[in-house]
Structure 1
Amino acid sequence: MLNVNEISNACVKCGKCIPVCTIHEINRDEITSPRGFLDLIGAYKNQELELDKNLKKTFESCFLCTNCVEVCPNHLRVDSVIEKVRYDIAQKFGIAWYKKIVFFFLRHRKVLNFLARLGYVFQSCAFNLQNNNLGMKPKFNLPLIKKDRLLPSLAKKSFLESTSDFINNQGEKTIGLFIGCLSNYSYTDTGFALLEICKHLKINVDLLKDQSCCGAPHYFTGDFKSVEILAKKNIIYFEEKLKTLDYIIIPEATCSAMINIDYEHFFHMQENEEWAIRARNISSKILLATKYFYEYTNLEELLKTKKKINASITYHDPCHARKMQGIFKEPRSLLKQNYAFKELIDSNECCGFGGVSMQTNYYKKALEVGIKKAKNIQKSNIEIISAECSACRMQISNALEHEKISVKFSHPLELIAKILQD
């Protein structure tokens, strides 16, 4: 059970969280710092403060990067406390109509499949498609979307609709694949790269065609009803599938963290211990893709037999990979076998995506953080940046385009698959 007051009272105000806080870096005010959030939340829970629009704006300004949790001597779950309060915000103020529409589509995969196909056909009417598969920009200002913003374009056909239910690579191992919504509908090369790697490793793949959205967008916005529906559906599905699968792997840091960690946190918040236990039981068999390939296959040894490519690359650590799941060496070790790898300045720094609310209501703040990241990428003097997260990909690509910085973004699995294909 999550005790908000207990966590708020446990903060000793040491201030170690402040230098690493993403929002405090661009908005240097005590109220937009982790200890400030905890103080305000404690006052609100003790009925010393009313949850008004100003307090709502403050609690929505957190990027949920978990930097504070990582450096806190007591590892206080500031992120979970804010997620809990965002549920209260949703209950009191409601969820904006455009978010409700998005969340409805994410809950209903068949409807979203139809709309994605329709969107692919008509996206050129409202958007200018960029060269080199960068994405697309609006032709005119749209609600909450400005003309200069780079967005991921829609694929002609979703990844899951483009593949068979099961791919038999004549292997002894069989894994399941949870693809994630952005990779399913926009960054489909990520999924195909993963299948290419499995082909070379002779690993069979179950595409898990009945998977649902992980629920992360809903969770970070306070739509707990949708989270419960999606989480229970996925847990039941995974429990059955894991009877015959070695692992389920996910090429998306946010989806992986949501399923592996936040499902259990969520059910503890709901005081539903039965489902919290079920969420925890499946988590040991669900891995971020690079962790699986690094620890449970001979991919690293296979890559050592392949040619080197004289391309300088770097890696950005998604918050939901390094801080929440401890993923650091795995993608680096795989990429270093064939590429000229350079460590990024402040690789652990949040890219500034921050979720649906940050990308809509507080986009200028998200862009400010993204531009800082883009300038660090430029200083690193590299050709390609990689990250195991489509949300980071969307955010960083937009910031690079905004600053006219010519650095290509590729998922680590895409870079690895390229080596195996050559």
Structure 2
Amino acid sequence: MSKTREEIFNYIDITDDCIKCAKCVPVCTIYRVNPDEVTSPRGFLDLLGAYQRGNLDLDENVKEIFESCFLCTACVEVCPKSLPTDMVIEQVRSDIAKKFGIAWYKRAFFLLLRHRWMNDLAFKLGWVFQTCGFKIKADIDSMNSRFSFPMLKADRLLPSLTKTSFLNSHPENINNGGKRKVAIFIGCLGNYNYKDVGEGLLEILKHLEIDAFLAKSQKCCSAPAYFTGDFDTVDYNAKFNIEYFESFSSDVEAIIVPEATCSAMLKIDYEHYFHDQPEWKARAIAIKDKIFMATEWLQHHTHLEELLASKKKDTQIVTYHDPCHAKKMQGIHKEPRNLISQNYNIVEMSDPNSCCGFGGVTMQSEKYHFAKAAGLPKAAMIKNTKADIVSAECSACRMQINNSMGNEATTIFKNPIELIAEALRK
């Protein structure tokens, strides 16, 4: 009989290595808003060890505890032994999903993420991604559209039939007259909610005379499903994307991603997920050297910084938020600042590395009170800078921060790609 994922993945190997130094506790996002030792990183690890030893039942109470982690990886960043607490919690959430099932609205959402043609249709019919415990806004076409389970706004049904996603708005191959070519993985939110990010990226590549391949067959990176424990969707999408990337990777210099979460999922979490599938793990590792966050690649592999320096300086003040999946997981934080600072004045908030509090589908629905509590301190930090713009290379952060700041906020959110494209127009 073949072993199950739970038997192959040994939590005890990781949990027993925790030395209980408590460095993780003060930086933990959930502990900051719910100061209970049980929901601290070392508390999670203790419970995981007890669970695998058979000393703890996976009951409703334990389910609630393991689903309360934001997966921000702040604990991993400060851990002297670099214990992958986020990874083991992601794994146990698969056990939770198998035992308790996945709520119908999550299953429906993840079905959309498997089949982009369904998302394209839903988009045209007026469905939007939204956050805040699924509270839909009156104007679903707002640039501050929010993310959760897609909900249909019937009174906008006919006008929305003209809406087109980013990927469907352009030919797959865009010739900018250069001798270089990159592929773009736009991500679901960039494809539907924040199309200006993709448009800005195409504009930048045109200035650099770098051809673009839009990789139109791409599927969702499956991060929402991975963080929720729907490993069937992760398996389906990840294998498709890897095979798809392999089919064109030799024809492009890089696969650039203007989204921190998507980039981290493709480059790091695919390898984690396939820990028990050696062939697919090897293929995930082989392709990851081609994958870059957009500002990372633009900073290190083009003359964009010099080009921006030749453009007019803007008087607007920008404060930059470091997405957890950028700085903590990929070490990317200097690159967007280097590029933005050529044309804008950057004022740092008090703690740009603290989590915005998005936390994934479950946190945004069933545990929204935690997401709201985690978001308010970040909103206060941004307000205190008196910045005109807050920027982050992550659309999930964008939705959470917009919501945390409220409709009365004077600071607007823009992806660094949007800021760079605006600077190039001057």
Q: TM-score, normalised by structure 1?
A: 0.93
| 8 Å contact kept, 1:172–1:203 | yes
Structure 1 distance, partners of 2:318, 2:373, is: 24
| 8 Å contact kept, 1:331–1:412 | yes
Structure 1 distance, partners of 2:9, 2:388, is: 44
Amino acid at match of 2:413: F
| 8 Å contact kept, 1:128–1:136 | no
Q: Which residue of 1 aligns with 2:93?
A: 86
Structure 2 distance, partners of 1:184, 1:289, is: 15
Structure 2 distance, partners of 1:127, 1:332, is: 32
Identity percentage over the alignment?
54
Taking the TM superposition and a 5 Å limit, the aligned residue runs for 1:13-28 are: 13-28=20-35
Structure 2 distance, partners of 1:103, 1:300, is: 39
Q: How has the CA–CA distance of structure 1 residues 291 and 217 changed in structure 2, closer, same or farther, with 3 Å as cutoff?
A: same
| 8 Å contact kept, 1:400–1:406 | no
Amino acid at match of 1:377: I
Deviation (angstroms), 1:134: 3.2
Structure 2 distance, partners of 1:409, 1:68, is: 27
1:107 aligns with 2:114: yes
Amino acid at match of 1:196: E
Q: Which residue of 1 aligns with 2:105?
A: 98
Q: Which residue of 2 aligns with 1:406?
A: 410
1:419 maps to which of 393, 416, 423 = 423
| 8 Å contact kept, 1:155–1:188 | no
1:365 maps to which of 356, 363, 370 = 370
* Superposed CA offset, 1:78-108 (max 9, x none): 0000001000000000000000000001101
Amino acid at match of 1:385: V
* Superposed CA offset, 1:251-310 (max 9, x none): 000000000000000000xx1111101000100111000000000000000000000000
Q: Which residue of 2 aligns with 1:395?
A: 400
Q: Which runs of 5+ in 2 are unaligned?
A: 1-7, 131-135, 152-159
| 8 Å contact kept, 1:127–1:137 | no
| 8 Å contact kept, 1:130–1:137 | no
| 8 Å contact kept, 2:143–2:194 | no
User: Which is further off, 126-135 or 251-260?
Assistant: 126-135
Q: Following superposition, which runs of at least 4 residues in structure 1 exceed 4 angstroms of deviation?
A: none
Q: Which residue of 1 aligns with 2:43?
A: 36
| 8 Å contact kept, 1:318–1:389 | yes
Q: Which residue of 1 aligns with 2:133?
A: none
Query: SS where residue 405 of structure 1 aligns?
Result: coil
Q: CA RMSD in A?
A: 2.2
Structure 1 distance, partners of 2:337, 2:319, is: 9
1:264 maps to which of 264, 271, 279 = 271
* Superposed CA offset, 1:111-134 (max 9, x none): 11111100169x9xx741289733
Q: Which residue of 2 aligns with 1:281?
A: 286
| 8 Å contact kept, 2:127–2:150 | no
1:210 aligns with 2:217: yes
Q: Which runs of 5+ in 1 are unaligned?
A: 145-152
Q: How has the CA–CA distance of structure 1 residues 172 and 59 changed in structure 2, closer, same or farther, with 3 Å as cutoff?
A: same
1:48 aligns with 2:50: no
Structure 2 distance, partners of 1:130, 1:216, is: 24
| 8 Å contact kept, 1:129–1:136 | no
| 8 Å contact kept, 2:144–2:399 | no
Q: Which residue of 2 aligns with 1:60?
A: 67
Q: How has the CA–CA distance of structure 1 residues 93 and 221 changed in structure 2, closer, same or farther, with 3 Å as cutoff?
A: same
Q: Which residue of 2 aligns with 1:316?
A: 321
Structure 1 distance, partners of 2:190, 2:24, is: 33
Deviation (angstroms), 1:3: 2.6
Q: Which residue of 2 aligns with 1:158?
A: 165
Amino acid at match of 2:320: Y
Deviation (angstroms), 1:225: 0.9
Deviation (angstroms), 1:401: 1.1
Structure 2 distance, partners of 1:44, 1:209, is: 43
Amino acid at match of 1:419: A
Q: Which residue of 2 aligns with 1:148?
A: none
Q: TM-score, normalised by structure 2?
A: 0.92
Q: How has the CA–CA distance of structure 1 residues 395 and 154 changed in structure 2, closer, same or farther, with 3 Å as cutoff?
A: farther
Q: How has the CA–CA distance of structure 1 residues 43 and 7 changed in structure 2, closer, same or farther, with 3 Å as cutoff?
A: same
Structure 2 distance, partners of 1:96, 1:203, is: 44
Q: Which residue of 1 aligns with 2:337?
A: 332
